[in-house]
């Protein structure tokens, strides 16, 4: 690498929203990329992404953009990825590395294997553990990944050079890099991300469909705000995540229902000791986790 020369030449981003856009802005802020080309579902999103400086230009034909790209990041809802992988597979160049930002890994890896076949080593799966309830290019931030974790789930076919390039790109965005297997990843995030989103959507939905919903929302305060921030997240994205990881999520949901049944039983019996026990263990775990 020449002094003053960005580490990456061309980066292609499919899905220039919160996750893809923040990756592009993070690399730009680090002076680590020459050009960012965006592909989107709608021209208006790409126009906004370009106006905001998230991308330098919109791509028109993958056949002209993939072969000389250093990294192709696919950061669309996960159900869109199989078709995108199939579209770009014929055009991978000798140095092209494909990665993704999807919240689930088992389904994404399976889709990549089906599309890339003998070239699967060029696909390095990843998941930034950073985000927000906001979406689209206007939600993208150059510092979204600063001090946050990115989980890479390497494949046996990934060589060290490709793995290191993907890790390096995320590190340049300010992230700390971790590794899990795709299976372990999906089991963990079913519990600590996918279930909480499902519960938050469920609570707000339960209130929103009541005839007197307004009464409840009028008086809902900071506890409700904290519990439900993530219910403002993108429905399509969360539909895809829940369906993609539904086996692990069903397991976590069953375990949570058992916990609720236990609390219901304690309430029914006016068993304050049991309630305090559960609340106490939860409080300590939450405080230790949050460092407070």
Ligand X SMILES: O=C(O)C(=O)C[C@]1(C(=O)O)C=C[C@@H](O)C=C1
Ligand Y SMILES: NC(=O)c1ccc[n+]([C@@H]2O[C@H](COP(=O)([O-])OP(=O)(O)OC[C@H]3O[C@@H](n4cnc5c(N)ncnc54)[C@H](O)[C@@H]3O)[C@@H](O)[C@H]2O)c1
Binding site for ligand X (CB under 6 A): 103, 129, 131-133, 193, 230
| Total residues binding ligand Y (CB under 6 A) | 31
- Dihedrals phi, psi of 98, to nearest 5 degrees: -105, 140
Q: Which is nearer to ligand X, 188 or 275 (CB)?
A: 188
Q: Which is nearer to ligand X, 36 or 230 (CB)?
A: 230
Torsion of CA 246, 248, 254, 258, to 10 degrees: -150
Q: Which is nearer to ligand X, 30 or 191 (CB)?
A: 191
Q: Which of 124, 29, 26 is nearest to 70 (CA)?
A: 124
Binding mask 181-200 for ligand Y (x = CB under 6 A): --------------------
Put the strands of the sheet holding 8-14 in their side by side order: 57-58, 33-39, 8-14, 71-74, 97-100, 123-124
| 3-class DSSP assignment, residue 101 | coil
Site for ligand Y in 128-167 (CB under 6 A): 128, 131-132, 135-136, 139
Asked whether 186 and 250 are in contact (CB, 8 A), the reply is no
Q: Which is nearer to ligand X, 183 or 265 (CB)?
A: 183
**Site for ligand Y (CB under 6 A): which residue of 9, 30, 35, 41?**
41
Q: Which of 127, 130, 110, 143 is nearest to 178 (CA)?
A: 127
Q: Which is nearer to ligand X, 18 or 92 (CB)?
A: 18
d(Cα 239, Cα 136) in Å, to the nearest integer?
Answer: 17
Q: Which of 144, 145, 210, 219 is nearest to 177 (CA)?
A: 145
30 binds ligand Y (CB under 6 A): no
Specify which residues 71 forms β-bridges with.
11, 97
Asked whether 94 and 68 are in contact (CB, 8 A), the reply is no
**Site for ligand Y (CB under 6 A): which residue of 8, 10, 25, 45?**
45
User: Least distance to ligand Y from the beta carbon of 111, Å?
Assistant: 12
User: Least distance to ligand Y from the beta carbon of 136, Å?
Assistant: 5
The number of beta carbons lying within 10 Å of the beta carbon of residue 11 is 26
59 binds ligand Y (CB under 6 A): no
Binding segment toward ligand Y, per CB under 6 A, in 25-33, 36-44, 54-62, 180-188: 36-44
Question: What, of ligand Y, ligand X, none, does residue 230 touch, CB below 5 to 8 Å by kind?
Answer: ligand X
The number of beta carbons lying within 10 Å of the beta carbon of residue 226 is 9
**Site for ligand Y (CB under 6 A): which residue of 14, 85, 145, 170?**
14
Enumerate binding residues for ligand Y (CB under 6 A).
14-20, 39-42, 45, 75-78, 80, 84, 101-103, 127-128, 131-132, 135-136, 139, 234, 237, 241
């Amino acid at each position: 690498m020449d002094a003053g020369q960005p580490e990456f030449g061309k980066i292609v981003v499919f899905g220039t929203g919160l996750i893809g856009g923040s990756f592009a802005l993070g690399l730009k802020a680090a002076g680590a990329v020459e050009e960012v080309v965006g592909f989107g579902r709608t021209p208006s999103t790409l126009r906004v992404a370009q106006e905001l400086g998230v991308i330098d230009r919109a791509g028109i034909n993958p056949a002209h953009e993939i072969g000389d790209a250093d990294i192709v990041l696919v950061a669309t809802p996960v159900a869109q990825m199989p078709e995108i992988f199939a579209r770009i597979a014929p055009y991978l160049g000798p140095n092209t590395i494909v990665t993704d930002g999807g919240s689930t890994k088992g389904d994404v890896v399976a889709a990549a294997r089906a599309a890339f076949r003998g070239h699967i080593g060029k696909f390095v799966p990843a998941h930034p553990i950073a985000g927000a309830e906001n979406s689209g290019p206007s939600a993208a931030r150059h510092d979204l990944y600063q001090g946050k974790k990115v989980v890479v789930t390497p494949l046996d076919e990934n060589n060290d050079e490709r793995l290191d390039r993907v890790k390096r790109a995320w590190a340049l965005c300010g992230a700390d890099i971790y590794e899990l297997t795709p299976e372990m990843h999906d089991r963990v995030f079913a519990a600590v991300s996918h279930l909480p989103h499902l519960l938050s959507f469920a609570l707000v939905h339960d209130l929103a469909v009541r005839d007197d919903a307004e009464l409840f929302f009028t008086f809902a305060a900071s506890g409700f705000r904290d519990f439900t921030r993530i219910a403002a997240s993108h429905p399509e994205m969360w539909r895809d995540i829940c369906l993609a990881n539904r086996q692990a999520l069903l397991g976590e949901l069953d375990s949570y229902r058992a916990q609720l049944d236990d609390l219901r039983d304690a309430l029914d019996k006016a068993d304050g000791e049991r309630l305090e026990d559960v609340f106490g263990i939860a409080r300590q775990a939450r405080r230790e986790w949050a460092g407070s």
